[in-house]
Chain A
Amino acid sequence: METFTNLALGFSVALTPFTLMLAIIGCFLGTIIGALPGLGPSNGVAILIPITFTLGLDATSALVLMTSVYYGAMYGGRISSILLNIPGDEPALMTTLDGYPMAKQGKAADALVLSGVSSFVGAFLATIGLIILAPLLARVAYLFGPAEYFALYLLAFCTLGGMASNNQAKSAIAACLGLGIAMIGLDNTSGMPRFTYGNLHLMDGVDFLVAIVGLFAIAEVFFFIESHGKNTALGVRLERVTIPFKMIRNSFWTMIRSTFIGFFAGVLPGAGASLGSFMAYMAQKAVAKDPETYGKGNPRGVAAPEAGNNAAAGGALVPMLTLGVPGSGTTAVLLALLMTLNITPGPTLFADRPEVVWGLIASLLIANIVLLIMNVPLVKIFVYVLQVPPWVLLPGVTMISFVGIYSLSGSYFDLLLMVGFGVLGYFLRKLDIPTVPVILGILLGNQMEDSLRRAMVLSDGDWAFLFSTPIAIGLWIAAIGGFVAPMFLRKVLKKPQAITD
């Protein structure tokens, strides 16, 4: 019953005309961002945060806008996967496997509608899962002390690192790079400057927004300059859009199954949407009677990863809201948004700011319906957007990033730092070192250190305190397992490469 009261509160926030308008704008922008090759959800949300912040929106409105962008980008990612064989973002990679062959067979419109419906099923059910699971987890999270939080942060780095890279040493370096950057500035506990080398600009530390925009957006610009924008989308055409009812009915159970798989992959801290779509696709192929048709344009091969990836996007919000630990790159960026808005995610968020949490959840339900309408009958509009040439798009992204960061602090120092992070991001990605752990490290570094220090204060310096409760021990085991297991599973779970023609 309590859930319904809370939802009613949420809808009373979300159904005001202003919030509704923000949700629609967010969905629209998000779908465009997701669809454009080279502008994934993390990128898009990252460059929009500083702008949102300077607009002076209140916490709920800003959150509604940005999560609509997030959900929208998850929907939009499939458009360029299907039409161009270029995943708009990493989780959409699996959609190219059967989506692009379908498009080549002249069934592009069918594939787009089917994947739109799958996205809706996945995201909608996952939002309901979020409604059920998040308050439960928030209650468990009350039992977490500093020792448990320390182990939890470690778990997030380990699972994210284990999944995100093919080399554990590289993901460990990435995480530590972020953690090390987070240490710059005044020490929270003692108030002493650390690693500032007398530079006044560094006293406040490195703003995570500067790092995020640099590592994601500016690095992407360098990649486009390197390739001279060869992955262009000019000349895509789409015939009449009809709704393939039979195809949707045939894929119904596929969608449901993939939603469950995707949701649980999303809830795991650090695993995220890429794993969700991957596991959903592999599971679908494993249970199928005709596994040899997958990869050649089987509609179920489109439905499964799309439902899985959107469900994972919803699932990833569970640990982000209840524990403050993001489940994916984009939720890490959303966590940055919460921290910018001075909202501390965690169990107390549900008790202290119910209007924020439930307003957000209600907006997600509304955003899903808006997105279904935008992405099925109106999908043609977004196909036109794909025709924006990269030599207009990328300079535009750069300028928006600069203005956003500049308007945060008005200092050229942050802009230089952002360019520096862009160069760093270029080299890291070239060397196959994941950048998401870097972001996570910068975001969580101070909290991780604080929880360690608070745990040690409580135990008077006894390190065994870190392993003193069953929850903490469980998290440590999961962390070590999450880091070590992929080394052995890598041969079994080889990521299929995108097909080339």
Chain B
Amino acid sequence: MASDRIFGLVMFGVALAYVASAFQIQSSFLSDPVGSKSFPILIGVVVMISSLVLIVKPDPDPDWPKSRTFLVLLVAIITLIGYAYALKPLGFILPTFVAASILSYQIGPRVGPALITGAGLSVGLFILFKYALGLGLFPFPAGMIG
């Protein structure tokens, strides 16, 4: 019950902010009868109505994981964000090894296989992408191979 109500409230707030910023859209001298604002405002209003329905008539709660699992998921998200930032400056192999090992450990918690998975995926995928598919990837940081 509570989950749907919270979600409804959040979506209502998001929709309100969305409609408010839709009113801020600058009009252009090239104007048509509908304009830039109407469709986004319409979308926002539909979300607000649906959110109210959800707040009034929520579904039963889903099975949320334990708080420890949320922590694990947070680690996974941070890993992925770090991977996104590292891919360009550090080359493909090192960040992929680290990120794949962490994710692998999180799914099947054994250190050895996770490290092997990380190593295998980083080297294997690099060979696949670079040589079989011809994508322009760099294996190592640009400075290292000078």
Q: Which residues of A does B touch, CB under 8 Å?
A: 51, 54-55, 166-167, 169-170, 172-173, 176-177, 179-180, 183, 187, 189-192, 194-195, 197, 218, 221-222, 224-226, 228-229, 389-392, 394-396, 398-400, 402-403, 406-407, 410, 412, 415-416, 418-419, 422-423, 426, 430-433, 448-449, 452-453, 456-457, 460-461
Task: Find A221's partner among B26, B33, B103, B108 (CB 8 Å cutoff).
Answer: B103
Indicate if the CB atoms of B96 and A226 lie closer than 8 Å. Answer: no
Knowing A391-B113, A419-B77, A452-B39 are in contact, say whether A190-B27 is a contact too (CB < 8 A).
yes
Which chain B positions have C-beta within 8 A of A228?
106-109
A260–B95 Cα distance when bound, in Å, is: 50
Which chain A positions have C-beta within 8 A of B81?
416, 419
A426–B92 Cα distance when bound, in Å, is: 27
A415–B86 Cα distance when bound, in Å, is: 11
Task: Find B53's partner among A169, A396, A430 (CB 8 Å cutoff).
Answer: A169
Which chain B positions have C-beta within 8 A of A448?
39
Total cross-chain contacts (CB, 8 A): 189
Knowing A55-B134, A173-B11, A419-B77 are in contact, say whether A395-B32 is a contact too (CB < 8 A).
no
In chain A, what residue has the closest Cβ to B137? A403
Which chain B positions have C-beta within 8 A of A180?
18, 40, 43-44, 47
Indicate if the CB atoms of A391 and B108 lie closer than 8 Å. Answer: yes
Knowing A392-B117, A400-B125 are in contact, say whether A453-B32 is a contact too (CB < 8 A).
yes
Q: Please tell me if B62 contacts chain A, counting CB pairs below 8 Å.
A: yes
Which chain A positions have C-beta within 8 A of B80?
218, 398, 419, 422
Rounded to whole Å, the gap between the CB of B36 and the closest CB of chain A is: 5
Q: Convert B77-102 into 0s and 1s, putting 1 for each residue whose CB lies closer than 8 angstroms to a CB of A.
A: 10011011101100010001001110
Rounded to whole Å, the gap between the CB of A189 and the closest CB of chain B is: 6
Q: Convert B5-44 into 0s and 1s, putting 1 for each residue whose CB lies closer than 8 angstroms to a CB of A.
A: 0010001000100100110011110111111100110011
Which chain A positions have C-beta within 8 A of B44?
176, 180
| Selected A-B contacts with CB under 8 Å, 18 pairs | A54-B133, A170-B50, A173-B50, A176-B15, A176-B46, A189-B36, A190-B28, A191-B28, A229-B108, A395-B121, A398-B103, A399-B96, A399-B99, A402-B87, A412-B88, A415-B84, A415-B87, A419-B80
Indicate if the CB atoms of A419 and B84 lie closer than 8 Å. Answer: yes
Beyond the given pairs A396-B121, A416-B81, 13 more chain A to chain B contacts, judged by CB atoms under 8 angstroms and listed by A's residue number, are A169-B57, A172-B50, A173-B51, A195-B18, A221-B103, A224-B107, A225-B73, A391-B108, A398-B100, A399-B100, A403-B137, A430-B3, A453-B39
Indicate if the CB atoms of A225 and B107 lie closer than 8 Å. Answer: yes
Indicate if the CB atoms of A192 and B36 lie closer than 8 Å. Answer: yes
Indicate if the CB atoms of A222 and B73 lie closer than 8 Å. Answer: yes
Which chain A positions have C-beta within 8 A of B33?
453, 456-457, 460-461
Which chain B positions have C-beta within 8 A of A431?
3-4, 7, 62
In chain B, what residue has the closest Cβ to A449? B39
In chain B, what residue has the closest Cβ to A413? B84
A418–B84 Cα distance when bound, in Å, is: 10
A183–B22 Cα distance when bound, in Å, is: 10
Indicate if the CB atoms of A187 and B32 lie closer than 8 Å. Answer: no
A399–B62 Cα distance when bound, in Å, is: 29
Task: Find A179's partner among B43, B76, B100 (CB 8 Å cutoff).
Answer: B43
Rounded to whole Å, the gap between the CB of A215 and the closest CB of chain B is: 14
In chain B, what residue has the closest Cβ to A461? B33
Which chain B positions have C-beta within 8 A of A54?
133, 135
Which chain A positions have C-beta within 8 A of B64?
430
Which chain A positions have C-beta within 8 A of B87?
402, 406, 412, 415
Rounded to whole Å, the gap between the CB of B30 and the closest CB of chain A is: 5
Q: Which 4 A-B residue pairs are closest in the complex by CB-CB distance?
A: A391-B108, A461-B33, A415-B84, A190-B28
Rounded to whole Å, the gap between the CB of B33 and the closest CB of chain A is: 3
Rounded to whole Å, the gap between the CB of A191 and the closest CB of chain B is: 6
Rounded to whole Å, the gap between the CB of A308 and the closest CB of chain B is: 28
A218–B79 Cα distance when bound, in Å, is: 13
Indicate if the CB atoms of B77 and A423 lie closer than 8 Å. Answer: yes
Indicate if the CB atoms of B125 and A403 lie closer than 8 Å. Answer: yes
In this complex, the member of B72, B105, B117 whose beta carbon has the largest number of chain A beta carbons within 10 angstroms is B117
A177–B40 Cα distance when bound, in Å, is: 11
Which chain A positions have C-beta within 8 A of B99?
395, 398-399
Rounded to whole Å, the gap between the CB of B91 and the closest CB of chain A is: 12
Q: Please tell me if B67 contacts chain A, counting CB pairs below 8 Å.
A: no
A305–B131 Cα distance when bound, in Å, is: 41
Q: Please tell me if B143 contacts chain A, counting CB pairs below 8 Å.
A: no
Which chain B positions have C-beta within 8 A of A51?
133, 135
Rounded to whole Å, the gap between the CB of A257 and the closest CB of chain B is: 35
In chain B, what residue has the closest Cβ to A228? B107
Knowing A176-B47, A183-B43 are in contact, say whether A169-B54 is a contact too (CB < 8 A).
yes
Indicate if the CB atoms of A395 and B43 lie closer than 8 Å. Answer: no
Task: Find A412's partner among B84, B107, B114, B133 (CB 8 Å cutoff).
Answer: B84
Indicate if the CB atoms of B135 and A225 lie closer than 8 Å. Answer: no
